[in-house]
Structure 1
Amino acid sequence: MVEIVSTSNEEIDVNLGGGLPIPSLMLIEGEHGTGKSAVAAQFISGMLKSNMKVLCITENTVNDYIKKMKTITFNFSEAFLNNDLTLLSLHINGTSWSKEQALQLLPSINKYIKEQSEKFDCVVIDSLSFVTAYSDMDKVLDFVTSCKYLVSSG
């Protein structure tokens, strides 16, 4: 049975047929700067208000992500401190990803999500373009297939 979780934004909920269908796999697509992170944050906010545990994988540092979300009215500090929101940063200060290291991002994230799936009700990746920049099509398809399997298995 599909559960509907409010995003806490009436306009978005109406456009989604009442809210976020749980379980589901969603991809938010758009050009740089079009508000994809804001929509993802709205989804995170709604899930947190529904007492769900959320894992957010981000290209930002944890501090930068929390600050960035505050600038668009989402204060995730308390949820983070209460372990309702887990932030996994792919950013490592003072380093840059080599192509070889970047190629391992998707398989590593996939493994982490599988191993930790019991701890979270939802996983948000902000942004997938960072994670897939050096990946070949097969690795991206494997990742999406794995995500679809996790969603279908609850």
Structure 2
Amino acid sequence: MVLETKLISTGNEELDLKLAGGLPVPLLIVIEGEHGTGKTVLVQQFVYGALKSGLRVVVITTETTTVGYIRQMLGVGFNILDYFIKGDLKVYSTRLPRVRWVESTGRDLLALTQDHMIAKIDTYDMYVIDSFSILIRGSKTEDIANFLTTVRKLVDKGKSFILTIHPGGLEETIYLNLKAIADGYMELKNAEMGGRVLKVMNIIKLKGVPTTFDNVITFDIDPAFGIKLVPMALSKV
């Protein structure tokens, strides 16, 4: 059975227009970029849009605490507190107090995450892992491959997944497999344009978008409004 995709808003009208209407769901989307290229804020933009579209979202963050993640979203204008209180947004952090990260920690967390995705399948519509590269540290190749197979099966059941990765953060075989099975793949980089350092998103593929879309999007991060698109003409000024 092939599920029909639909478009949901990203919560940003300009970005919706660039994507020819919004973000297609269900899907597996991978966002690749170095530290500081805007991966987390872009993901948070998608999370915000999903919540506003009535989806239930689970976020696994390896970068900060649960409270820290909520504060980050509020700090860039994503008013998600009501969704969090109601339980439509759940945020789990791998920053466990008094737990020392050793080689087996990542392996255990990957297994726990996979079990959670399966056990709670009826409680979420979108599952976000930021960052997948860190979550899989210490895991065996076959365990990672099995995890991605599970993700693909859950997408086929109508669930959406967003995984962020760092360049060089995955073993080559896993990296190529992930690119192959992903419905959407985006690369983020910093670029200096007209004396400004901006974020550039290169959309390598995005299945389910009904028409052509802008595959190169330049944006900045506004402390009050989150993602702010920058027209190429202005970025060169």
Q: TM exceeds 0.5? A: yes
In the alignment, which of 78, 81, 85 is matched to residue 82 of structure 2? 78
Matching of residue 146 in structure 1 with residue 147 in structure 2: no
> How many angstroms apart in 1 are the aligned matches of 2:5 and 2:13?
19
**1:1-154 map, 5 Å:** 1-59=4-62, 60-154=64-158
Output the CA distance in 2 between the equivalents of 1:80 and 1:96: 28
Summarize deviations over 1:13-40 as a string: whole Å, max 9, x none.
2333321111100011101111111111
Separation of aligned partners in 1, 2:98 and 2:68:
15
Q: By how many angstroms is 1:65 displaced?
A: 0.9
CA distance in 2, matches of 1:15, 1:143: 32
Q: Is this contact kept in 2: 1:41–1:69, CA < 8 A?
A: yes
Question: Secondary structure, in 3 states, of the residue corresponding to 2:30?
Answer: coil
Alpha-carbon distance between aligned partners in 1 of 2:70 and 2:96, rounded to the nearest angstrom: 16
Query: How many aligned positions are there?
Result: 154
Superposed CA RMSD: 1.4
Q: 1:79 to 1:99 in 2, by over 3 A?
A: same
Q: Percent identity?
A: 36
Contact 1:2 1:22 in 2 (8 A): yes
Q: Which amino acid aligns with 1:128?
A: F
Q: Secondary structure at the match of 2:91?
A: strand
For 1:15 and 1:149, how far apart are their aligned partners in 2?
29
Partner amino acid, structure 2, of 1:106: L
Q: How far did 1:132 drift? A: 1.4
Greater Rg over alpha carbons, structure: 2
How big is each residue's C-alpha offset from its partner over 1:41-99, in whole Å with a ceiling of 9 and x where there is no partner?
Answer: 00010011011111111122211111122232223222111111011221112322221
Unmatched segments (≥5 aa) in structure 2: 159-237
Q: C-alpha separation between the residues in 2 aligned to 1:96 and 1:65?
A: 21
Tell whether the 8 Å contact from 1:66 to 1:75 is kept in structure 2 after alignment: no
Of Structure 1 and Structure 2, the greater helix share is in: 1
Partner of 2:167: none
Larger % of strand: which? 2
**Structure 1 alignment gaps of length 5 or more:** none
Deviating above 4 A after TM superposition, structure 1's stretches of 4 or more consecutive aligned residues are none
TM-score by length of 1: 0.92
TM-score by length of structure 2 reads: 0.61
